[in-house]
Structure 1
Amino acid sequence: MSKKHIVIIPGDGIGEEITSAAIRVLERVTNKAGLTLTYEKQLAGGAAIDQYGVPLPDSVIRAAKQADAVLLGAVGGPKWDHVPPEIRAEKAILGLRKELGLYANLRPVRVSPALIEYSPLKAEAIYGVDILLVRELSSGIYYGQKCESEIIDGIEQASDVEVYTVPEVSRIMHLACQAAQLRKKQVLSVDKANVLATSRLWRRTVNQVASEYADIQLKHMYVDNCAMQLVLAPKQFDVIVTNNLFGDILSDEAAVLTGSIGMLPSASLGNGTGLYEPIHGSAPDIAGLGLANPVGTILSAAMLLRYSLGAPELAEQIEQAVDKVLAEGYRTADLYKSGATKVSTDEMAGLIEAQLG
């Protein structure tokens, strides 16, 4: 019997409710498979500010580094909007990414057949969409040299510098190719090589790495065209790999295709422990009311099984269970429409558990 250790960081707002729901589902699917998980809860974000005066205590970093995976709920909220910038609750996520060496964000965009009506696109355009967007997470313009303000020839200006190195591009492309090998073996690299020097280096490096994967089909697309194609013909995509800035924008655009931000998971991977979290916020206005949708966190737990614990078959069982519950018409408050059956956070988790047998 295999044994793995998971650090749980509920965070703030609805974090406790959604991570507890995910643990219930994890327990059900792993117990049946003979995989033993141990759990350790840690404080980060606003909860850690209240307790320790900082959003990411050193003890949390140590625990995360020693774990097999980290499952995070959500951090932040109006309560901590006025703390000094260096200790804002959101610094917890940035700090974890840095300390764990996480350089890739994986965001799957898949529409459950039962929720196609929620998409802003027509059913025939969205049915069957299954995209994995791989975003470089630790470099690029967000981390380059910045000038907030300077006066040149009497005119105020500001600047942000984008820098990428060959090793940074190479490692994200290797990860994208390896992810594609578990899917349809297609990788689309998105850049702006007709304008940007960094994009030309990106493209050269991507081509070189792709040559090491004989089974992977590589294509290139400019970011503006990709943004258009995501709306016009999203079914053409399998794995999309791109830089930090483009990935930030395209992943949010792709998320809208599903019609519900509460359904979407994510994984941040790299040199250390993987970090898994839903893409939505902490929603403090509904915390403790049983209204939160736990599916994004439950699907993040499925990604945890797939990428950190090497159990893709268990991940698929969770994903199929979610689809079955939705097909039966059960909806949390964020997705409820007339004719559906409204359920609470705990009830949704229980229904998914039941589907797992």
Structure 2
Amino acid sequence: MSTQSNDRIAATLIPGDGIGPEISNAVVKILDALEAPFAWDVQQGGMAGIESSGDPLPAALLESVGRTKLALKGPLTTPVGGGFRSVNVRLREAFGLYANLRPVRTMIPGGRYEDIDIVLVRENLEGLYVAFEHFIAVGDDPRAVAISQGINTREEARRIVRFAFEYAVQHGRKKVTIVHKANVLKALTGLFLEAGREIAKEYEGRIAVDDRIVDACAMQLVLNPWQFDVIVTTNLFGDILSDQLAGLVGGLGMAPGANIGEKAAIFEAVHGSAPDIAGQGIANPLALLLAAALMLEHVQRSDLAGRLRSAILQTVQADSVRTRDIGGSASTQEFADAIIRRVLA
């Protein structure tokens, strides 16, 4: 990992667009109060990248992440039309970020579900999101038939399932659930299930394992989410289930994400850029702040990650300081200041 001589850790900060700069500013202030070790290289992306360089994923941003191998990313908007591919997909491909980590935990009591603590591990590079797609013309309709192909490889399935089991071991988790659709997609996700069961044997006696068909898993997450601990699944299923999981704890504003590869890691708020409230000072920085806690764990500073999460819980529970979207009236800055007071207490 790239570091500076004074034990600071070089990291790329991508504020993003919409509410991104506001929540990024709040998070950096909180991390400074925590004396987090990051030395930021600020780079523009999304709409801000288009304004600065004509590309939502500028070369300077890619160079920075390639050098630091570590990034904290606010929401990035990919323009509709104009031939731009998803910025997030391009980042994952550029740095081989094969594992998407989405933990969800109840932080505000009194909701529909209490005591939720589930981690979803999503394969990030294969499946139907490789988007090998084309149309077939019929008669006068050039787009009469749409065809899409997905790809899963045994090697990648093994790698992501092993990541999930290793995460479970390292974080004191008890069970991994492999989610698939092998009853219908017998080749595409049957291979994933087969490879998952192979890897699970290596952890026999340490981590329990079971599997679920994806539609049954979605139903069980509503009926009895407490039966799940760590879930590992393919790209499309993981995309859907991770948002469902976020709904159990209050929505995407409470859900951090991490994209991890062998050579780089990018930590992010997974919600959108919310341009309708940008500049009003009311955005909730929690998702990006929780992503920063994951980032601290990644650089072996679990002590600081624990202090940060404790300060957040004390702020939203004991102090009842919350932004509007989670039942309070605090501005972005007031919320950040309240967390800083807890960090410094």
State the alpha-carbon separation in 2 of the partners of residues 6 and 258 from structure 1.
29
State the alpha-carbon separation in 2 of the partners of residues 183 and 297 from structure 1.
24
Verify the 8 A CA contact 1:177 1:185 in the aligned structure 2: no
State the alpha-carbon separation in 2 of the partners of residues 284 and 138 from structure 1.
28
Q: Which residue of 2 aligns with 1:190?
A: 179
Q: How much is the aligned-residue C-alpha RMSD, in angstroms?
A: 1.9
Q: Which residue of 1 aligns with 2:265?
A: 274
Q: Which residue of 2 aligns with 1:66?
A: 67
1:216 equivalent in alignment to 2:207: yes
The one-letter code of the counterpart of 1:108 is: P
Q: Which residue of 1 aligns with 2:332?
A: 345
Q: 1:1-357 maps to which residues of 2 (within 5 A)?
A: 2-29=7-34, 31=35, 36-76=37-77, 80-81=79-80, 83-86=81-84, 91-112=86-107, 115-117=108-110, 119=111, 121=112, 126-151=113-138, 156-181=144-169, 182-196=171-185, 197-214=187-204, 215-307=206-298, 309-327=299-317, 328-336=319-327, 340=328, 342-357=329-344
Q: Does the residue aligned with 1:145 lie in a helix, a strand or coil? A: strand
State the alpha-carbon separation in 1 of the partners of residues 136 and 236 from structure 2.
21
Q: Structure 2: which 5+ runs fail to align?
A: 1-5
The one-letter code of the counterpart of 1:177 is: F
Verify the 8 A CA contact 1:144 1:163 in the aligned structure 2: no
State the alpha-carbon separation in 1 of the partners of residues 7 and 235 from structure 2.
36
How far residue 356 of structure 1 moved from its aligned partner, in angstroms, is 1.5
Verify the 8 A CA contact 2:116 2:248 in the aligned structure 1: no
State the alpha-carbon separation in 2 of the partners of residues 93 and 194 from structure 1.
31
Q: Does the residue aligned with 1:142 lie in a helix, a strand or coil? A: strand
TM-score by length of 2: 0.91
Deviation track 1:30-70 (CA, whole Å, cap 9, x = no partner) reads x2xxx632111001111111111111111211110111420
How far residue 212 of structure 1 moved from its aligned partner, in angstroms, is 2.1
Q: Does the residue aligned with 1:284 lie in a helix, a strand or coil? A: coil
TM-score by length of 1: 0.88
Verify the 8 A CA contact 2:122 2:235 in the aligned structure 1: yes
Identity percentage over the alignment?
A: 38
Aligned residues: 333
Verify the 8 A CA contact 2:100 2:260 in the aligned structure 1: yes
Verify the 8 A CA contact 1:318 1:356 in the aligned structure 2: yes
Verify the 8 A CA contact 2:76 2:273 in the aligned structure 1: yes
Verify the 8 A CA contact 1:109 1:132 in the aligned structure 2: yes
- Give 1 or 2: higher helix fraction: 1
The one-letter code of the counterpart of 1:176 is: A
